[in-house]
Amino acid sequence: MGIEVIYTLDQFESEWWSGIVKRFRAKYIKTPKEYVNLFVTSGKIKKEKIKSDISKSIEKIRESIWENYLKDEVVFHKEVLTYLMNNRNVPKEILEKILEENFNQDELIDFSGGFQEKITRLVGEYAGRIMPYIYYLSLSTTNSRRSRAGKTFEAVIEYVLDCFGYTYDNQSKLGLNFYKENKIGKMVDCVIPNKEAYSKKRDKCIIITMKTTLRERWQEVVEELNRTNIPHIYLMTLDSALTKNVLTNMERQNITIVTYESIESKFKKRNNIISFETFFNEEIPHNLKYWERQK
């Protein structure tokens, strides 16, 4: 009766499974922007609170989004694996064979004794036999989480900008032509007040890039600054592993870190690290006053 163990997926099956995973993820997992909107409509925090306690508010919003995302992820995994077992012949046959070999009709309706232990063992056995499907699903979920972390951070920061009523252009508003014309890579996530101002006087604009964690990735920002004519950039991060040496290197490259107040407070003698509070309450208003005078 069919194949008892699946050791690998051929190209056709891999492409099919990849398409199914993408389809179900799109159906059950919301976009970062949608999760932010879900948080906003929940009424868990008011705009006034966000503006008065920015660092803690950003942290709270991200935690809420992550919690809702994990709930949706559970549903996504359940639905996509159920679809696999019901609609793909080999995984379906393997499940049927395991049940036939281990249960008689009476056991299927008897939940007493060692039934639960038997089910637990058989679930593990079935997972082992279709592991290539589960392995791809796990890898896909891991990659999705990594990419979503950055996009969620961007969505949260844009919401905070909206709370303050600040004007800005994000990547979608900047558009491909802006990046091509200015020979800028996608390292630039946001421009304040807008791309028109950047074209007129870039040294009077606030250029923002966002990275939840840094590691060695901050060097990509350095390369971007060296390759373009961007005079200064604000690097927003949530990375608590910042060091004095990294900050010194960044200062030489005209990079200012923007982060949680709790992280910024560890580097009081540094000039190129500020809190979200300072950035939103002082840096942006000061910049926008310049553009107000140009009108």
Closest CA relative to residue 237, chosen from 124, 170, 150 = 150
Angle between helices 54-87 and 89-102 (to 10 degrees): 80
Task: Give residue 15's pLDDT.
Answer: 96
Task: Give residue 1's pLDDT.
Answer: 44
Q: Same domain for 140 and 180? A: no
Quote the domain boundaries for residue 76.
11-160
User: Is pLDDT above 60 for 294?
Assistant: yes
Contact present, 192 and 284 (Cβ < 8 Å): yes
Inside any domain, residue 2: no
Q: Half-sphere exposure (CA, 13 Å, Cβ side) for 224?
A: 24
248: tokens are 């010194």
Residue with token string 């997972």: 127
Side chain identity at residue 208, one-letter code? I
Of 147-151, 220-224, 286-290, the range with the lowest mean pLDDT is 220-224
Contact present, 270 and 250 (Cβ < 8 Å): no
The number of domains in the chain is 2
Q: Same domain for 211 and 285? A: yes
Q: Same domain for 176 and 152? A: no
Q: What is the C-alpha to C-alpha distance for residues 211 and 257, in angstroms, rounded to an integer?
A: 10
Task: Give residue 105's pLDDT.
Answer: 56
Last residue of a domain, one of 160, 181, 203: 160
Inside any domain, residue 280: yes
Inside any domain, residue 111: yes
Q: Same domain for 170 and 156? A: no
The confidence band for 99, taking pLDDT boundaries of 50, 70 and 90, is confident
Q: What is the mean pLDDT of the chain?
A: 88
Q: Same domain for 190 and 239? A: yes
Q: Same domain for 171 and 228? A: yes
Report the DSSP beta bridge partners of residue 274: 258
Q: Same domain for 176 and 289? A: yes
Inside any domain, residue 5: no
Last residue of a domain, one of 124, 145, 160: 160
Inside any domain, residue 206: yes
Q: What is the C-alpha to C-alpha distance for residues 77 and 139, in angstroms, rounded to an integer?
A: 13
Q: Same domain for 81 and 215? A: no
With vertex at residue 288, the alpha carbon angle to CA 156 and CA 249, rounded to the nearest 5 degrees, is 65
Inside any domain, residue 127: yes
Q: Same domain for 23 and 93? A: yes
Q: Same domain for 153 and 24? A: yes
- Tens digit of pLDDT for each residue in 244-259? 988 998 888 889 999 9
Q: What is the C-alpha to C-alpha distance for residues 77 and 85, in angstroms, rounded to an integer?
A: 12
Task: Give residue 109's pLDDT.
Answer: 52
> CATH number for the domain including 34?
3.40.91.80
- Tens digit of pLDDT for each residue in 101-135? 776 655 555 545 566 677 778 888 889 999 999 99
- Tens digit of pLDDT for each residue in 33-75? 999 999 988 888 888 999 999 999 999 999 999 999 999 999 9
pTM: 0.86
Task: Give residue 178's pLDDT.
Answer: 87
Inside any domain, residue 65: yes
Last residue of a domain, one of 145, 160, 175: 160
Q: Same domain for 227 and 271? A: yes
- Between 125 and 79, the more confident residue is 79
Inside any domain, residue 1: no
Q: Same domain for 64 and 147? A: yes
Contact present, 257 and 243 (Cβ < 8 Å): no
- Tens digit of pLDDT for each residue in 211-224? 998 876 677 777 77
Across residues 61-90, what is the average pLDDT?
Answer: 93
CA distances from 165 to 158, 159, 169, 176, 233 (A): 10, 10, 13, 25, 21
- Tens digit of pLDDT for each residue in 178-200? 888 887 877 889 999 999 999 99
Q: What is the C-alpha to C-alpha distance for residues 198 and 209, in angstroms, rounded to an integer?
A: 15
